[in-house]
Chains A and B, each alone.
Chain A
Amino acid sequence: MDMIYFLCRQTLNFAIPLMLVALGGVFSVQSGVTNIGLEGMMAFGAFCGILFLNLTEGLMVGQIHLIIAILVAIAAGILISSVHAVAAVSLRANQLISGAAISNFAPAFTVFTARIILGASIISFKNTFMINEVPILSKIPIIGDIFFQKAYITTFLGLAVLGISAFVLYKTRFGLRLRACGEFPQAPDSVGINVIKMRYIGVLISGALCGIGGLVYVIPNATTFNGSVYGYGFLALAVMMLGQWTPIKVLWVSLFFGVTMTISAAYSAIPFLNSLGLSANYFKALPYVLTLIILAFTRNSSKQPKAAGQPFEKGMR
């Protein structure tokens, strides 16, 4: 039974960052800007957060330290996403190219910076953020074991972000306007909504969520960071598409991927999988292979916001 709880917690540790980043993608695409820079924004957010943890080690411990690191990661994510926003929204450049450029830039920049500041490409940090047991709540059977033992506040932060995203996108005036800018920007433009501004907001929110996602991915799963998030941001891109650009479906898809990643990370602890005698590389490739298979059998591009990827020019028809 402990084993199953462990796997469930592990799944959450993988699924929550994936969901956060995919939600970031949702905001960007719903506003009409394709964002394949998720990977880079994630790496950059994680880097700045971890660098902060490394440099301030000993000055602070515990949750406050983590919260400030998250704020740093958010700021970093917003900073780098603004680079994408300038190219994609203001200058009307090819959004795929500038996104891909950011995904290339961030890992190189992080290693470059780490080498110069710390003299090594790998940054280490002390993980003092795990909450062993939440009083009272951890006594609830099953739920307590999964959510309130050996937990991270980031899990709850992720779930909160999910709720807020769903609410903002579908129940507020702002969400309606944002989605209109992704679906048919001429319409909001004709009633005096600033499409450029809305798209900027969409991309910047996306950067902020990627920043959190990057940091949240690294903290529970490692004690070092080497500048790369191993294609996690690209998986989030797939999660976003398979989740049809809606928050709740994104949650389900990312939980599914969380399970496969748990399998690939912890297969040696699962007797059945370990007895198959396959090497680690097969399990590591599993999430990517599964994505391809699912892509082959789903046709949901019709749900994509119509104007996503198209630059908006005032007065265009």
Chain B
Amino acid sequence: MKNKNVRLGNMVDGVGSSLLAIICALIFGFIVMLAFNPSQAWPAFLSLLSGGAATGSKGIGQVLYYMAPYIMLGLSVAFSFQTGIFNMGATGQFTVGALAAILVGGLCGDIPASVRWIVALLAAGAAGMLWAVVPGVLKAYCGANEVIACIMMNYIAMYVSNEVIYNFYYDQTLVSTKYVLSDSILPKAGMDKLFPDSSAGSGILIALLFVIIVYVILYKTSFGFGLRASGKNLEAARYAGVSEKKNIATVMLIGGLIAGIGGGILHLSSITKTLNLAEVFIPESSYALPIALLACNHPIGVVFSAFFMAWLTVGSTLIQSNGFPTETVTMLTAIIFYFSALAFVFKKGIEKFKMKRELENAKGGGK
């Protein structure tokens, strides 16, 4: 019983520190907006926060649409974080996953439409895993720095996907991939009735399924326990017989799988979502780390932080009428990212404060 209370207390601290980080970031972001365009800053800020609610059921549908890949990105990073690996490779894995899904969805018309989206998502997952093999193996068996290896793989992913797009599925007027076949889109699962005109579909359901899977792996299996143990204290885990190298490689692979499928979900949920031929990363993929961090790397938390980020993303489409570019939200995300680094500090602060109070209470009780 006491154990449960402690866990609950930890969760409350975690949520509190994340909320504190978000509030600080929003205040700071607002100050930046105020500095650049004082008259429009407040209305723009309000419409940013109104997010999905501003356009009714369509807006909510759009939030769900963005939420699905965000959950996958956050899960991918959170999973490796729990094992003590700082995974910046989700961007590249997301890119190749998107590419693989688009190629299957666009070129493999021979596969019956009823299973084609499944094949496409599997291909996306496989591509993501393939991209995670290199940093995984380098980190586990060559002792290379995983941060550098992942970043290099991100850039290689960008150039490789540009090359593949240009050679196999290029549309000159769109400067991106062509549209996929219309029957390759993920099943709508009734979402189109609930949220008309939006791109919502079964993507969110798939993402939630993965949340449950990751939660079960991490918290209900001995494998997951070993992973978390080596994330908390590597020496202790090693002493207890956790195979560190195998764990690192496995975690990277699973992370790659999840991120890759995420890329597939984003690009197969709406027919107009194509993969651009450009020398920049897919903008959505930069939210991976902030989402995981705001969730304190907990799979259930990822659902909420992904929802929040999706809400802001939808809100960012509204602020252009106030004279603010869409980059506002990218910048705001980066600020949230920065403050999420401080979230752990806040959390420690809250814990310290509580401990102090408890100590004082105990002293008071002793009198």
> Contact residues of A with B, CB < 8 Å?
36, 83, 87, 91-94, 96-98, 100-102, 104-105, 108-109, 111-113, 115-117, 121, 228, 230-231, 234, 237-238, 241, 279, 281-282, 284-285, 288-289, 291-292, 295-297, 299, 301
Q: A91 CA to B134 CA in the complex, in Å? A: 34
> Contact residues of B with A, CB < 8 Å?
32, 36-37, 86, 88, 134, 138, 142-145, 147-149, 151-156, 159-160, 162-163, 166, 279-280, 286, 289-290, 293, 323-325, 327-328, 330-331, 333-335, 337-338, 340-342, 344-345
Q: Is the CB of A108 within 8 A of B163?
A: no
Please name all residues of chain A whose beta carbon is closer than 8 Å to the beta carbon of B138 when the two chains form the complex.
292, 295-296
Could you list 7 further interchain pairs (A-B, Cβ under 8 angstroms) beyond the known A100-B337, A117-B36, A295-B142? A87-B342, A101-B338, A104-B330, A104-B337, A109-B331, A116-B36, A234-B152
| Set A96, A116, A230, A292: member contacting B37, Cβ < 8 A | A116
Of all chain A residues, which has the CB nearest B167? A279
Q: Is the CB of A105 within 8 A of B335?
A: yes
Q: Is the CB of B148 within 8 A of A295?
A: yes
Q: Is the CB of A292 within 8 A of B153?
A: yes
Assuming the contacts A100-B88, A285-B156, asked whether A112 and B148 have C-beta atoms less than 8 A apart, the reply is no
Q: A230 CA to B158 CA in the complex, in Å? A: 11
Q: Is the CB of A241 within 8 A of B148?
A: yes
Q: Is the CB of B143 within 8 A of A94?
A: no
| Set A105, A231, A297: member contacting B155, Cβ < 8 A | A231
Q: A295 CA to B150 CA in the complex, in Å? A: 12
Please name all residues of chain A whose beta carbon is closer than 8 Å to the beta carbon of B134 when the two chains form the complex.
292
Q: Is the CB of A91 within 8 A of B345?
A: yes
Please name all residues of chain A whose beta carbon is closer than 8 Å to the beta carbon of B162 when the two chains form the complex.
281
Please name all residues of chain A whose beta carbon is closer than 8 Å to the beta carbon of B331 when the two chains form the complex.
105, 108-109, 112
* Shortest beta-carbon contacts, A-B, top 8: A105-B334, A97-B341, A101-B338, A101-B337, A108-B330, A285-B159, A281-B163, A104-B334
Q: Is the CB of A105 within 8 A of B341?
A: no
| Set A102, A115, A231, A281: member contacting B151, Cβ < 8 A | A231
| Set A121, A238, A281: member contacting B148, Cβ < 8 A | A238
Tell me the dominant secondary structure on chain A's binding face.
Answer: helix
Please name all residues of chain A whose beta carbon is closer than 8 Å to the beta carbon of B289 when the two chains form the complex.
97, 100, 104
Q: Is the CB of A93 within 8 A of B345?
A: yes
Distance of B24 from chain A, by nearest CB (Å)? 12
Please name all residues of chain B whose beta carbon is closer than 8 Å to the beta carbon of A230 when the two chains form the complex.
155, 279
Q: Is the CB of B280 within 8 A of A295?
A: no
Please name all residues of chain A whose beta carbon is closer than 8 Å to the beta carbon of B327 when the two chains form the complex.
108, 111-112, 115, 121
Question: Which of B32, B138, B289, B331 has the most chain A CB within a 10 Å cutoff?
Answer: B331
Question: Which of B37, B148, B153 has the most chain A CB within a 10 Å cutoff?
Answer: B148
Distance of B329 from chain A, by nearest CB (Å)? 9
Please name all residues of chain B whose beta carbon is closer than 8 Å to the beta carbon of A105 when the two chains form the complex.
331, 334-335, 337-338
Distance of A47 from chain B, by nearest CB (Å)? 13
Please name all residues of chain A whose beta carbon is closer than 8 Å to the beta carbon of B286 when the two chains form the complex.
104
Q: Is the CB of B344 within 8 A of A295?
A: no
Residue pairs across A and B with Cβ atoms less than 8 A apart, 16 shown, are: A94-B341, A97-B337, A100-B289, A101-B290, A101-B334, A108-B333, A109-B32, A116-B323, A116-B325, A237-B148, A241-B145, A241-B148, A282-B163, A292-B138, A295-B152, A297-B142
Q: Is the CB of A36 within 8 A of B147?
A: yes
Please name all residues of chain B whose beta carbon is closer than 8 Å to the beta carbon of A91 when the two chains form the complex.
342, 345
Please name all residues of chain B whose beta carbon is closer than 8 Å to the beta carbon of A98 when the two chains form the complex.
338, 341-342
Please name all residues of chain B whose beta carbon is closer than 8 Å to the beta carbon of A285 when the two chains form the complex.
155-156, 159-160
Please name all residues of chain B whose beta carbon is closer than 8 Å to the beta carbon of A288 when the two chains form the complex.
152-153, 155-156, 159
Q: A24 CA to B341 CA in the complex, in Å? A: 22
Question: Which of B134, B330, B334 has the most chain A CB within a 10 Å cutoff?
Answer: B334
Q: Is the CB of A104 within 8 A of B333?
A: yes
Of all chain A residues, which has the CB nearest B331? A108
Q: Is the CB of A234 within 8 A of B148?
A: yes
Q: Is the CB of B156 within 8 A of A289?
A: yes
Please name all residues of chain B whose beta carbon is closer than 8 Å to the beta carbon of A297 when the two chains form the complex.
142
Q: A94 CA to B145 CA in the complex, in Å? A: 17
Of all chain A residues, which has the CB nearest B340? A97
Distance of A292 from chain B, by nearest CB (Å)? 5
Assuming the contacts A109-B334, A234-B151, A292-B134, asked whether A299 and B143 have C-beta atoms less than 8 A apart, the reply is yes
Of all chain A residues, which has the CB nearest B146? A295
| Set A101, A109, A292: member contacting B152, Cβ < 8 A | A292
Q: A230 CA to B153 CA in the complex, in Å? A: 13
Q: A288 CA to B157 CA in the complex, in Å? A: 10
Of all chain B residues, which has the CB nearest A291? B152
Please name all residues of chain A whose beta carbon is closer than 8 Å to the beta carbon of B337 when the two chains form the complex.
97, 100-101, 104-105
Q: Is the CB of B344 within 8 A of A93?
A: yes
Assuming the contacts A230-B279, A284-B159, A285-B156, asked whether A96 and B147 have C-beta atoms less than 8 A apart, the reply is yes
| Set B36, B88, B335, B342: member contacting A113, Cβ < 8 A | B36
Distance of A273 from chain B, by nearest CB (Å)? 16
Distance of A132 from chain B, by nearest CB (Å)? 31
Distance of B96 from chain A, by nearest CB (Å)? 13
Of all chain A residues, which has the CB nearest B283? A108
